[in-house]
Amino acid sequence: MIAHPNSLSATEAVRLILLGKLSSEDLVKACLDRIALRDRAVNAWACVDADSALEQARKRDTWTGPRGPLHGIPIGVKDVIDTVDMPTEYGSQIYSGHRPPWDAACVALARAAGAVVIGKTATTEFANIHPAATRNPHNLLHSPGGSSSGSAAAIADHMIPIAFGTQTAGSTIRPAAFCGVMAYKPSFGLISRFGLKLVAESLDTVGLLGRSLDDLTLLMKVVSAHNMISLKKGPLTVPRIGVYLPSFLDEAEPSACDLLEQSAKTLAAAGASVLICNSRLDDARLNIAHSIIMGYESARSMSYEFSERKASLSFALAARLEEGVQLTLGRYEDALNDACSARHEFDQLMQNFDVVITLSASGEAPIGIESTGSSLFNRIWTLLGAPCIHLPCALGPNSLPLGIQIIGPLHQDMTFLEHAQWISQKLGSTEFVSQHFLAS
C-alpha cells in the first residue's frame, strides 16, 4: 500500500502503476479525498467530476491493450481550455454551464495517452486580470498568482500531480513561483491551441505545471507534435549560463535578487560558465509592446463579450478592453515590429549562452487575493516566444516559495529541457518541492 499516493509525482505514479504496485483508482481516489479535505479553503477547482474520474480510473485498471505514457494519471485542466464532458466557463458568469462539443487538442491528446481528467482548475476571468477565489495553499492569506491560479494551487496542495495552464503574460510561470511548483511555458506554437479561449493570438501559449522536470517533459511528449525524448538520466551537458538582470530589477524584493545571485554562484561552483549578460534587451520598450499587442488583440478576441455582455464583465476587464479598443492599428503594427526586432536581438544574445537565468517574479506571493501579482518579470519572454521554466528552490522571509526562471532559445526545447535538468539537479529543485509541499 502506497502512503499518500496523491503526493507522488506523475512519473513516480506511472512507474508504480506499470509495476502493479499502485492502481489508477487508488491514485485518483487519494486525489479526490485531498480535494474534498482542502478545496473549501483553497478554491483551486471550478469543477470536479468525482464519479467520472473514478469510472475513468477503473477503466484504466482493467485495460488490457497497449498503455499510453500517462496511463491512469490524474490531471487538471485550466478552465479556459475546452472539455467535452464537463463545463468550460472561462472564469466568467457569461458562460455558466457552457458545454463545448469537443475536447481541446491538448486534452484530447492527454486522454489518448491514458490521463484521467479530474476536473477544471480555477482561472481568472477569461485568463485576464480579475482574480479567481483561489488562495495560496502555503498561506491562505496570500495570492496564488494567476491566471493559472487553480492549476498551480492544486499541485502545490497535493490534489493532482500535473495540470494544464496557459500564459499570455506570466500566467503559468508566476503562479508556479508563488505556489512553489515547477512550470514550463514551451516555445510559442509548440502545443496546439485548438480549443483554447484566446486572449491574444500572438502571445497565448499552453503551459504545463507539475512536481518535477520529468513530469513536465512527460506531459510535453504527449501534447507536442515534436519528437520529445526522455531526459537523460546519466551525465548531462554543462550549459553556458547567462544571468539576465532586467532594467526594472529595483521592482524586485531583495530576497528574490539574493536568491538569483546565490543560484548563479552555486551553478558556477558546480562547473558551469556563468556570466552576467552584458547586452540587455530594451525591457521598457518591450513591456510597452507587449501591453499594446495584448490589449489590441484581446479587445478583438473578446469583441462579442465586450459589445454584447459588457455588464457581465468585471470592471477591471471591461476597462482593459475599452483601452484595447482605443489602440490604433498603427500602434499595434509598431509593437509587432518591435517584437520582431527584439527576437533577432535575443537570438544574438543567445549566441553566447545556452540558457539565461533571471527572476520568475518580483518575490514571494503578495498578501491578499484581490490581485494576482505583477507579470513584469515574464512579459518580455512571452513576447519573444521563448521557452521558460520556473524552478522553485528556496523559501523567502515569509516562509513562502521563491525560485528562478530559466529562458532558452526559441524552438530548441529539447536541449533547453536537458540544460534545465542540469540546473535543477545542482540547485536541488526536486528535493525542495518534495520537502516543502504541504504535508498530506
Angle (CA) 281-256-247 rounded to 5° is: 25
Per-residue confidence (pLDDT) for residue 438, from 0 to 100 = 52
Same domain, yes or no: 58 and 147: yes
341 part of the active site: no
Q: Which of 84, 72, 62, 71 is nearest to 30 (CA)?
A: 72
Burial class (CB in 10 A: 0-12, 13-18, 19+), 425: middle
Same domain, yes or no: 331 and 379: no
207 backbone dihedrals φ, ψ, rounded to 5°: -110, 160
Domain boundary among 340, 371, 386: 340
Spot the catalytic one: 24, 143, 171, 424. Answer: 171
Q: Residue 56: which CATH number?
A: 3.90.1300.10
78 part of the active site: yes
Same domain, yes or no: 268 and 289: no
**Which grid cell sits at 425?**
539537479
426 part of the active site: no
Neighbours of 282 (CB within 10 A): 15
Same domain, yes or no: 315 and 431: no
Same domain, yes or no: 29 and 92: yes
The secondary structure of 238-302 as a DSSP string is PPEEEE---TTGGGS-HHHHHHHHHHHHHHHHTT-EEEE-SS---HHHHHHHHHHHHHHHHHHHT
Cα–Cα distance measured from residue 338 to residue 408, given in angstroms and rounded to the nearest whole number: 20
Instruction: List, in sequence order, every beta strand (DSSP E) within 314-398.
Output: 355-359, 388-395
Q: How far is CA 242 from the centre of its chain?
A: 23
Say if 237 falls within a structural domain: yes
Spot the catalytic one: 9, 23, 143, 147. Answer: 147
Same domain, yes or no: 302 and 385: no
Domain boundary among 340, 359, 374: 340
Same domain, yes or no: 353 and 252: yes
Same domain, yes or no: 86 and 111: yes
Predicted confidence pLDDT, tens digits, the chain (440 residues): 789 999 999 999 999 999 999 999 999 999 999 999 999 999 999 999 999 999 999 999 999 999 999 999 999 999 999 999 999 999 999 999 999 999 999 999 999 999 999 999 999 999 999 999 999 999 999 999 999 999 999 999 999 999 999 999 999 999 999 999 999 999 999 999 999 999 999 999 999 999 999 999 999 999 995 555 555 566 788 999 999 999 999 999 999 999 999 999 999 999 999 999 988 899 999 999 999 999 999 999 999 999 999 999 999 999 999 999 999 999 999 999 999 999 999 999 999 999 999 999 999 999 999 999 999 999 999 999 999 999 999 999 999 999 999 999 999 999 999 999 999 999 998 777 776 655 44
Same domain, yes or no: 179 and 112: yes
- Going from the C-alpha of 23 to that of each of 49, 71, 92, the distances in angstroms are 19, 10, 36
Say if 291 falls within a structural domain: yes
Same domain, yes or no: 238 and 126: yes
The reported pTM is 0.96
- For cell 471550478, the residue is 46
Neighbours of 362 (CB within 10 A): 20
Q: Which of 384, 146, 404 is nearest to 261 (CA)?
A: 404
Domain boundary among 323, 340, 357: 340
**Number of structural domains the chain divides into:** 2
8 backbone dihedrals φ, ψ, rounded to 5°: -70, 150
Say if 233 falls within a structural domain: yes
Same domain, yes or no: 186 and 263: yes
Say if 2 falls within a structural domain: no
**8 A C-beta contact, residue 176 and residue 105:** no
- Going from the C-alpha of 197 to that of each of 88, 127, 159, 241, the distances in angstroms are 10, 9, 25, 36
**Domain interval for residue 142:** 7-277+345-436
Same domain, yes or no: 353 and 330: no
Q: Is the dihedral of CA 331, 335, 336, 341 positive or negative?
A: positive
Q: Is 390 left (phi over 0), alpha (psi -120 to 50) or beta?
A: beta
| Neighbour-count burial for 173-189, b at 16+ CB within 10 Å, e otherwise | bbbbbbbbbbbbbbbbe
Q: At what angle do helices 315-326 and 283-301 cross, to 10 degrees?
A: 100
Say if 14 falls within a structural domain: yes
Say if 1 falls within a structural domain: no
Spot the catalytic one: 7, 23, 24, 78. Answer: 78
**Which grid cell sits at 167?**
500564459
**Which grid cell sits at 307?**
459589445
